[in-house]
Amino acid sequence: MEYSNNMEQQYLDLLEELLLRARPRETRNATVYSSFGHRLSCNLEDGFPLLTTKRVFFRGIVEELAWFLRGSTNVQELRDKKVHIWDLNTEDKGYDAGPVYGFQWRHFGANYTNCNATYKGKGIDQIENIIQLIQNDPHSRRMLLSAWNPSVQHQMALPPCHISYQFYVENNKVSCQMYQRSADVFLGLPFNIASTALLTHLIAHETGKGVGTLSICIGDAHLYSQHYHQAFEQVKRQPMRLPTLRTGRKKDGLWNLQANEVVLENYEHHGTIKAEMIS
């Protein structure tokens, strides 16, 4: 299968489809323009898929992924770094996100009490399992990372949207396919694309391999009515060339990622388009 570096154009095409052809739907938190079943793909060797038709907060993406990878669910750790993307979903819970992404990635199946408890050695460390499989059994079909755990969703501030990642090794390169059940296309999806690409780069670096392809499969893709005019502004813009990513961090099982260990180079972009986050 041929892949190209036009994920941003694929993203803009999806945004335009929601603007022009999707019908409004009433949901739990707002009116949305929704469409079901989409796929975006790119070759990570062609560049890093951070949107250029608006400025994207890359440091926030790195800090959130680092938070996931260390298994944390304490939103105050993000707030201390001036990253506020989880605030609205957790401010009434004392900034305890519950057993969300990081807990499932690092401690799947462990008993969750609160964000300040210690869970070292408890549950299944899915990240470590994937690293070991890539290194020792690179043709395995079991390199799957799952955040979907129905038994504890009642404890979560928000059920996970990007719920599974499958990794694949070919020609000494790591590829990833992510499934996203729900995508806030204007605000959330640009973060999700870049975060998944970054995770793939980090796992490839950790295992001594290159990067291959990235695919994102989306179930419910939706545009909030509050973002309609901002989305219309964005689709009129022309994408710029992709930036590149460089990391030279110490291999530690991806436990202690620091923002300064990931360097984004040659990021050219249009201006910021502000929009209200819908929780």
Q: Note the pLDDT of residue 1.
A: 39
CATH topology of domain 7-212+221-265: Thymidylate Synthase; Chain A (3.30.572)
Each residue's pLDDT tens digit, 27-73: 999 999 999 999 999 999 999 999 999 999 999 999 999 999 999 99
Residue 264 DSSP class? E
Where does the pLDDT of residue 172 fall: very low under 50, low under 70, confident under 90, or very high at 90 and above?
Answer: very high
d(CA 263, CA 157): 31
d(CA 157, CA 101): 11
- Quick check: is 161 catalytic? yes
Where does the pLDDT of residue 3 fall: very low under 50, low under 70, confident under 90, or very high at 90 and above?
Answer: very low
Burial state string for 210-235 with b = 16 or more CB within 10 A and e = fewer than 16: ebbbbbbebebbbbbebbbebbeebb
Each residue's pLDDT tens digit, 128-160: 999 999 999 999 999 999 999 999 999 999 999
Beta strands 210-224; 173-184: pairing state: parallel
Residues 42, 115, 161, 176: which is the catalytic one? 161
pLDDT for residue 76 is more than 60: yes
Mean residue pLDDT across the chain: 96
